[in-house]
Amino acid sequence: MVFLSHVCKNRMRPNLDIPARLSVLNQYCFLWLIRIADQKNFQLKSKGDPIMTQVNSDVIIIGAGPSGTSAAALIHQAGFKVAVIEKEEFPRFIIGESLLPRCMDLLEEAGLIDAVKARDYIVKHGAVFLTDDQRTDFEFGNQFTDGWGYTWQVPRDDFDHTLATAVEKMGVDIFWRHTVTDADCRADSATVTATGPDGNPVTFSGRFVLDASGFGRVLPRLMDLDLPSALPRRDSVFTHITGDRRPAGDAAGKIWICMLPENSWLWIIPFSNGKTSVGVVAEPAFIDNLGGSLDDKLSAIIDMSRPAADRLADRKPDFPARRIDGYSIAVKTLCGDGYALTGNATEFLDPVFSSGVTLALESANRAAKTLIRQLKGETVDWDKDYAAYLGHGVEVFRTYVNAWYDGALPTVFFSDKATPDIRSQICSVLAGYVWDMDNPFVAKHEKAVDKLAQLCDMRANK
């Protein structure tokens, strides 16, 4: 019994406060070992000291970002056992910091919104699009769809850590610093092999795998599912700065999108911690043709925009500028026997309308609900119930991304010919409500945007 107490105290206490008195400890360890044996759960969380290598659960989720944790929350609350595998230790830096109001519905449904509210992030009431001599504001409170009128700007290291902590408090096990090396997904079972922080292999067995690994794209790489994006290659250079001269009042939290030459643009995203995210999206040649370091390039690009240069005149970088090359990517399929892809493991389009986290949460929500039905014994059609649904939203955003870069959308944005009703319908798309089929700019997105741009252009030339 002394041996058992030693094992429990040092190896097997991921979520529990073990009593200090030896007699109670021995009794508790005995019961705990029985519980583990009953569950056939022969492993321990990475923050301890793993001594066994088998983990059994109903669902295996790869990735503890917003997509993985929100899916885990929904599945756990439905009564199923979830194991989340995460390669890194949180908090960790990641880009993609501006949410959309649709995120609020999804966080609320997953039971995570109160944890996020408690972080006191700066409120985002809308978006501002600017050239040197034009400006247009979209207020999320003035939109067509009955949805949230605000959201948040979030430092992702803190936001992702907040969600993961909330999910752990629900009782979900997250296996930190575990790197997936193999996956075997079948119609009735799935096995994922990972390397733990001690270098030893850990086998995760379950009934289904959700890949929410983001740009890690674990299953697409292992299963040869990656496809090049149909969008032209664009790169991003970014940093965080202090010294941002923010507007007053509710305008302080709005994202700024500043248009630049050669189809490039600059984002300005303020945080409640006093820092501001600043970055450029451009074709590689636009960045490469500028001299100096990445910091020099980014500084020169900021100065190309008069509104950005004025606002950020006192800027001081928080860290050296970083570059992401060719961020857009696609996949051959979103789902198959024993697995489904969610979040950026599916397809990432472009950051111009801040759709990344929204699509991550939406895909997680839809995949989790479809999977819960399947685990309960219902017959589901993953292509119809999940892939087609998610694909519609992606295609709506794709239309708006293409229209941004071909000039149609800026024509609409800066035109005084678009009626308030039309602007409210477009605003709902910018708020992430791209599944509202009552909105003509969703239901007939490609034709609606193109025809409106032509109309605004014709009226402007009269």
pTM of the model: 0.88
Alpha carbon distance 112, 106 (integer Å) = 9
Which residue positions in the chain have pLDDT lower than 70?
A: 1-52, 458-462
Distance CA 88, CA 178 (A): 7
Q: SS3 sequence, 24-48?
A: HHHHHHHHHHHHHHHHCCCCCCCCC
In the sheet that holds 179-185, the strands lie side by side as 54-56, 201-206, 190-195, 179-185
Q: What is the structure's pLDDT at 28?
A: 34
The whole-angstrom separation of Cα 104 and Cα 205 is 33
Per-residue burial over 116-151, b = 16 or more CB atoms within 10 Å of its CB, e = otherwise = beeeebbebbbbbbbbeeeebbbbbeebbbebbebb
pLDDT score of 49: 52
In angstroms, the Cα distances linking 243 to 72, 284, 310, 318, 375 are: 38, 28, 11, 10, 52
CA dist., res. 342 & res. 75, Å (int): 14
Contacts of 275 (CB under 8 A, 6+ apart): 155, 240, 241, 242, 318
Q: How many CB atoms lie within 10 A of CB 308?
A: 23
Of 348, 303, 352, 310, nearest to 330 by C-alpha is: 348
> Which residue shows structure tokens 């096990």?
173
pLDDT on residue 456:
87
The DSSP 8-state label assigned to residue 431 in this structure reads: T
For residue 251 the two structure tokens come to: 């305008």
Give 188's DSSP letter. S
* pLDDT tens digits along 433-461: 999 999 999 999 989 898 888 888 755 55
**DSSP three-state, residue 435:** coil
Secondary structure letter of residue 339 according to DSSP: E
Provide the pLDDT for residue 458. Answer: 58
Please name the helix (run of DSSP H) or strand (run of DSSP E) that holds residue 256, with its range, or none. strand 255-259
Taken in order of first residue, the domains within the chain and their CATH numbers are: 1-54 (no CATH), 235-324 (3.30.9.100)
Distance CA 462, CA 451 (A): 17
CA distance readout (Å), 229 to 265, 287, 386: 20, 20, 21
Tokens 């289904």 found at? 208
d(CA 89, CA 173): 14
Residues paired with 279 in a beta bridge:
238, 267
Distances (CA, A) of 393 to 136, 303, 346: 25, 35, 13
**pLDDT tens digits along 268-320:** 999 999 999 999 999 999 999 999 999 999 999 999 999 999 999 999 999 99
H-assigned helices in 216-270: 218-222
Report the 10 Å Cβ neighbour count for 431.
30
CB atoms within 10 A of CB 426: 24
Query: What does the pLDDT read at residue 348?
Result: 87
Q: Encoding tokens for residue 216?
A: 């890690």
